[in-house]
Amino acid sequence: MDWSFYNWDLISNFVIKGLGFSLMLTVIATLGGIFFGTVLALMRLSGKKWLDLPATIYVNGMRSIPLVMVILWFFLLVPLVIGKPIGAEMSAIITFIAFEAAYFSEIMRAGIQSVPRGQVFAGQALGMTYGQNMRLVVLPQAFRNMLPVLLTQTIILFQDTSLVYAIGAYDMLKGFEVAGKNFGRPMEAYLAAAVIYFVICFALSYWVKRLHKKIAIIR
């Protein structure tokens, strides 16, 4: 194959633009998912049925639906509800936050439950309120316990960003597709995309594995 045929500057522009959106979507969805996931986890652990029931229905419902279907729902139905289009990129951001919150909530719930009850009782003995106990005692320890799992879920989230291709959002996969069409090499473009996804995810997974070992040693 004559590699001089390709304009690598042009290809990199297509791909970097898409990679930028994929990374941005990953970061925003992770932060939003952790925030709302924590809220859902606390609702489920509150012991109050009026909080636990809706949170349980939401989490189990979202975890039972394919992500690509949720993406299409938000993209097609939200504009009908609000009366105006919101664009593929914004639709993807809203969808990923709403969807990932269900998965992060289960991670958060498991992390909170992993903290020894003695720690909770100690906080209560010091006169802390429920909110203070969670914020100052339980959640910091829970985050350390579940950090490797949170990062692993973030890697999966990055892989899932390729699904926004279904609504035409310009992610990294779309960048490779555009480059492939411009040079009449779609198969090579998709192969290159697979390699890049593999390299990024493998490197991150290796780093998470090493981090998990360090946390285990600290414990």
Interval 28-87: pLDDT, tens: 999 999 999 999 999 998 889 999 999 999 999 999 999 999 999 889 888 888 888 888
Residue 9 is predicted with a pLDDT of 58
Contact by Cβ (8 Å): 142, 112: yes
CATH number of the domain where residue 146 is located: 1.10.3720.10
Residue 214 lies in a domain: yes
pTM: 0.87
Other beta carbons within 10 Å of 72 = 16
User: Which DSSP letter does residue 46 get?
Assistant: S
Most confident range, picked from 70-79, 90-99, 130-139: 90-99
Both tokens assigned to 158: 């990055």
Residue 99 is predicted with a pLDDT of 96
Question: Residue 197: CB partners within 8 Å, gap ≥ 6?
Answer: 159, 162, 172
- Tell me the CA distances in angstroms from 176 to 8, 61, 191, one per residue in order: 12, 33, 9
Both tokens assigned to 10: 């042009």
Residue 1 lies in a domain: no
Residue 2 is predicted with a pLDDT of 45
Residue 33 lies in a domain: yes
Place of tokens 């999966």: 156
Structural domains counted in the chain: 1
Residue 45 lies in a domain: yes
Other beta carbons within 10 Å of 205 = 13
Residue 2 lies in a domain: no
Residue-number span of the structural domain to which 68 is assigned:
7-218
Residue 52 lies in a domain: yes
3-state secondary structure of 51: helix
Q: Which residue has the higher pLDDT, 183 or 93?
A: 93
